[in-house]
């Protein structure tokens, strides 16, 4: 059953702990996935393994909420297409071409893009603070991708990261419409993973995958790590645990507070990529990344508490992040 929202200090403290745990779990997805990709797995195959594994783990919840496909078929289909298959595939494809930290920072343009949806598609006004957040996020991104150097990174990789951000926008909008009518977000996550696994099976064609890679080792900055262990981390920690703690935190915090804590995912991913993968960012890129996060913070926290489409809590996160992540 969904955890009821509480305003007690204990509930808020637990909610903040859950949100922080979710950000840490999501932030570790890129550093676990990239070595598998470099070991010979196609990015789409890594995404399929992650989503299909998580869907299998969450299958009991799907059985428990077996009435959901009848009640909200469009929600589940959109969630699986955008929030699971789309964002994960684009993000993992992006990190196969550009650093993990850069891909995730580009993906964090999603709050700004949601504001664009509100202003130009729904034709609703946005605050000046929110507009400032958009400007800061765009300026910070320019530093991250080093526009003065003619884009220091692979253009296709950047485009894929931006596509992941766009998929997150669709997820945020769908998540906003899926919280009512007594719908348990964990049930939506379970069916979203199932739908995403089916869609990715068609696209990724896992029967063509080199399964022998999973029996061997992958390398993290020169250190050998069992590929199966990296996959287990992706499925159990960076997907199942990340979503469970993220959704639970939203039930105890306002979506805005939970979403702000979730911004730590980008910091976690960048630091882990530096420590475990040896990916170093220049000083302008670090400063630009900080500006992107500040812009996302302002854009997200400036939304009124009860505005539907601005519900940007971790339930609206990737997978992987991200939920990239």
Note whether residue 323 is domain-resident: no
pLDDT tens per residue, range 84-110: 899 888 988 888 888 877 787 787 677
Which portions of the chain are predicted below pLDDT 70? 1-12, 108, 111-112, 114-115, 126, 145-153, 171-173, 175-182, 247, 250-264, 296, 299-325
Greatest CA separation found in the chain?
54
Note whether residue 325 is domain-resident: no
Is 262:16 a contact under the CB 8 Å cutoff?
no
Q: How many domains does the chain have?
A: 1
Note whether residue 321 is domain-resident: no
Residue-number span of the structural domain to which 161 is assigned:
9-316
Cβ burial, residue 154 (10 Å; 0-12/13-18/19+): middle
Position 289 scores a pLDDT of: 77
Note the Cα 224 to chain centre separation in Å.
Answer: 27
Note whether residue 182 is domain-resident: yes
Cα torsion through 55, 57, 61, 62, rounded to 10: 30
Position 321 scores a pLDDT of: 40
Is 193:58 a contact under the CB 8 Å cutoff?
yes
Note whether residue 142 is domain-resident: yes
Note whether residue 4 is domain-resident: no
Position 60 scores a pLDDT of: 94
Note whether residue 120 is domain-resident: yes
Report field, pTM of the whole predicted structure over 0.85: no
Note whether residue 1 is domain-resident: no
């Amino acid at each position: 059953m969904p955890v009821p929202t509480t305003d007690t200090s204990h509930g808020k403290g637990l909610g903040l702990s859950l949100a922080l745990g979710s950000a840490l779990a999501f932030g570790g997805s890129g550093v676990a996935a990239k070595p598998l990709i470099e070991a010979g797995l196609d990015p789409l195959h890594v995404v399929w393994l992650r989503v299909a594994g998580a869907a299998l783990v969450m299958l009991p919840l799907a059985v428990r909420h077996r009435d959901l496909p009848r009640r909200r078929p469009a929600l589940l289909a959109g969630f699986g297409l955008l929030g699971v298959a789309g964002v994960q595939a684009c993000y993992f494809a992006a990190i196969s071409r550009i650093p993990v930290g850069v891909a995730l920072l580009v993906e964090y343009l999603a709050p700004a893009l949601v504001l664009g949806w509100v202003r130009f598609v729904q034709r609703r006004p946005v605050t000046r603070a929110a507009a400032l957040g958009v400007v800061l996020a765009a300026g910070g991104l320019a530093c991250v991708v080093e526009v003065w150097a003619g884009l220091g990174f692979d253009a296709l990789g950047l485009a894929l990261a931006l596509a992941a951000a766009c998929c997150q926008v669709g997820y945020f909008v769908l998540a906003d419409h899926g919280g009512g009518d007594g719908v348990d977000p964990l049930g939506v996550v379970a069916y979203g993973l199932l739908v995403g696994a089916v869609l990715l099976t068609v696209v990724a064609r896992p029967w063509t995958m080199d399964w022998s890679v999973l029996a061997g080792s992958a390398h993290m900055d020169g250190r050998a790590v069992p590929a199966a262990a990296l996959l287990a981390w992706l499925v159990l920690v960076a997907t199942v645990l990340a979503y469970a703690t993220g959704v639970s935190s939203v039930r105890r915090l306002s979506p805005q507070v939970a979403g702000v804590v979730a911004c730590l995912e980008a910091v976690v991913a960048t630091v882990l990529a530096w420590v475990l993968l040896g990916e170093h960012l220049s000083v302008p890129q670090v400063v630009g990344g900080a500006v992107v996060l500040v812009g996302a913070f302002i854009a997200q926290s400036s939304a009124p508490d009860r505005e539907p489409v601005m519900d940007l809590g971790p339930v609206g996160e990737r997978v992987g992040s991200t939920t990239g992540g």
